[in-house]
């Protein structure tokens, strides 16, 4: 089959690789109809996370079930499905509680040996383990493109806004208006927020924030803390969603939240550290919640319903649609930030 594979640091290429086969009784093989390039794919390309040359990249996909193992009960050949970006076992203590991102056997598609050694989804076909857990049926009313991100960033946005318990008339600040920030804004609106502010530095992202329903705040031009204070009689935001994952963004989040407010950190962290004066957080009675990776399986039914209702809509986010064979160009566009989201069509 055709697939996008890691070549050397800084380079991906198209390759003909072996077709995936059913390896475990719970597996399904999905013929991919749409797949996308994600920021975390770039970590592998840039050598920030290890992956072997020749390994298939990608974890965002929709498609049609083409084969199922004997243990697959909920899906049949021909079903239109979205694939979960994180592959959970569905049976361990954490999975049974819906905390699938903490699964004892947590794996990722296309994420190298440390991701569980599964091949990725930027290909004509992908093997999905524990298919009953890691696939979601797409309603007939929803096309492939609108369903694609339900397996990853769209549902992450809904998860973030829900963790923050966004309620009616809340003033919400979303720091970082990339894909997760975009969907966090839409989700905050869907959950009934009074007003949402989208804070970023890049004009293209601020434009997307506005399309998603936020008041864009260009942090170069206006101090976010002032913008939020002006909108709330000096109090600050009821809810802040930090969707960047940098110490600066974290400090900005803690700066714009009101006393007694709630901060959800969905931006990804690894080795960074910040100095925290605990007494300040304590005296301000803040709620601080680290989202971790989205347990997509616990939230994607709700996310799909929001897509069906039109309240979550990924269409404005997609800047490029390319044939799979043009993936190298797609990676270039995405890496140079000339694309907000690249969809590949096998």
Nearest approach in angstroms of CB 36 to Zn ion is 7
The two structure tokens encoding residue 261: 């407010």
Distance of CA 120 to the CA centre of its chain: 16
Task: Work out how close the CB of 7 gets to Zn ion at its nearest, in angstroms, rounded to a whole number.
Answer: 20
- Measured from the CB of residue 288, what is the shortest distance to Zn ion in angstroms? 25
Q: Which is nearer to Zn ion, 87 or 193 (CB)?
A: 87
The residue (of 109 and 217) whose beta carbon lies closer to Zn ion is 109
Rounded CA gap, 271 and 204, in Å? Answer: 29
Paired residues of 287 in beta bridges: 262
Cβ at position 320, least distance to Zn ion in Å: 16
Name the minimum Å distance from CB 90 to Zn ion. 6
**Position 152 contacts Zn ion (CB under 5 A):** yes
Judged by DSSP in three states, 247 sits in helix
* Closest separation in Å from C-beta 187 to Zn ion: 17
Residue number with CB closer to Zn ion (119 or 232) = 119
Which of the stretches 34-42, 44-52, 137-145, 165-173 binds Zn ion when contact is defined by CB under 5 A?
34-42
Nearest-CA neighbor of 208 among 41, 344, 333, 339? 339
Please identify, using beta-carbon distances, which residue of 38 and 228 lies nearer to Zn ion.
Answer: 38
Q: Which of residues 164-223 bind Zn ion (CB under 5 A)?
A: none
| Contact range with Zn ion by CB under 5 A, out of 151-159, 229-237, 246-254, 320-328 | 151-159
Q: How far is the CB of 58 from Zn ion (least distance, A)?
A: 9
Token pair of 304 as six digits? 């799909």
Rounded to 5 degrees, φ, ψ at 87 are: -95, 115
Q: How far is residue 176 from each of residues 179, 275, 297, measured CA to CA in Å?
A: 9, 21, 24
Please say whether the beta carbons of 145 and 343 come within 8 A: yes
Q: Which stretch binds Zn ion (CB under 5 A): 33-41, 168-176, 200-208, 337-345?
A: 33-41
Q: Which residue is nearest to Zn ion (CB)?
A: 38
Q: Rounded to the nearest 10 degrees, how much is the dihedral formed by the CA atoms of 265, 268, 274, 277? A: 20
90-149 residues near Zn ion, rule: CB under 5 A: 92, 95, 103
SS3 29: strand
Name the residue among 120, 113, 114, 84 with its Cα closest to residue 101.
84
* Minimum separation from the CB atom of position 95 to Zn ion (A): 3
- 7: DSSP letter: E
The answer to whether residues 342 and 37 touch, using CB atoms and an 8 Å cutoff, is yes
The site that binds Zn ion (CB under 5 A) totals a number of residues, namely 7
Structure tokens, 231: 């909108």
Q: Which is nearer to Zn ion, 103 or 128 (CB)?
A: 103
Render the burial of 191-206: b for 16+ CB within 10 Å, e for the rest.
bebbbbbbbbebeebb
Based on CB atoms, which residue is closest to Zn ion, 68 or 155?
A: 155
Q: Which of the stretches 80-88, 125-133, 269-277, 324-332 binds Zn ion when contact is defined by CB under 5 A?
A: 80-88
Out of 28, 32, 37, 38, point to the residue binding Zn ion (CB under 5 A): 38
CA-wise closest residue to 224 among 172, 271, 152: 172
Closest separation in Å from C-beta 224 to Zn ion: 26
Closest to Zn ion by CB, 38 or 249: 38
Interacting residues toward Zn ion by CB under 5 A:
38, 88-89, 92, 95, 103, 152
């Amino acid at each position: 089959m055709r697939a996008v594979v890691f070549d050397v640091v800084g380079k991906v290429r198209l390759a003909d690789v072996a077709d995936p086969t059913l390896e475990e009784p719970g597996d399904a093989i999905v013929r991919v109809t749409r797949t996308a390039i994600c920021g975390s794919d770039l970590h592998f390309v840039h050598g920030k996370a290890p992956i072997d040359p020749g390994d298939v990249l990608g974890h965002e996909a929709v498609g049609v079930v083409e084969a199922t193992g004997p243990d697959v009960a909920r899906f049949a050949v021909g079903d239109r499905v979205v694939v979960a970006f994180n592959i959970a076992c569905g049976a361990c203590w954490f999975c049974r509680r819906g905390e699938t991102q903490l699964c004892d056997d947590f794996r990722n598609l296309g994420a190298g040996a440390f991701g569980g050694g599964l091949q990725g989804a930027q290909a004509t076909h992908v093997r999905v383990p524990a298919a009953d857990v890691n696939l979601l049926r797409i309603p007939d009313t929803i096309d492939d493109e609108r369903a694609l991100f339900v397996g990853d960033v769209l549902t992450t946005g809904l998860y973030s806004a829900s963790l923050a318990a966004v309620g009616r008339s809340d003033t919400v600040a979303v720091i970082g208006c990339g894909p997760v920030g975009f969907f966090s804004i839409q989700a905050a609106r869907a959950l009934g927020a009074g007003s949402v502010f989208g804070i970023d530095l890049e004009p293209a992202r601020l434009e997307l924030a506005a399309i998603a329903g936020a008041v864009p705040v260009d942090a170069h031009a206006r101090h976010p803390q002032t913008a939020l204070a002006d909108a709330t009689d000096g109090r600050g935001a009821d809810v802040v969603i930090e969707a960047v994952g940098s110490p600066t963004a974290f400090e900005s989040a803690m700066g714009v939240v009101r006393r007694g407010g709630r901060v959800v950190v969905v931006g990804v962290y690894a080795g960074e550290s910040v100095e925290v004066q605990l007494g300040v957080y304590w005296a301000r009675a803040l709620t601080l919640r680290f989202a971790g990776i989205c347990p997509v399986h616990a939230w994607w039914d709700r996310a799909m319903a929001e897509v069906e209702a039109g309240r979550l809509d990924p269409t404005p986010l997609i800047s490029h649609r390319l044939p799979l064979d043009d993936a190298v160009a797609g990676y270039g566009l995405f890496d140079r930030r000339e694309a907000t989201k690249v969809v590949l069509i096998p």
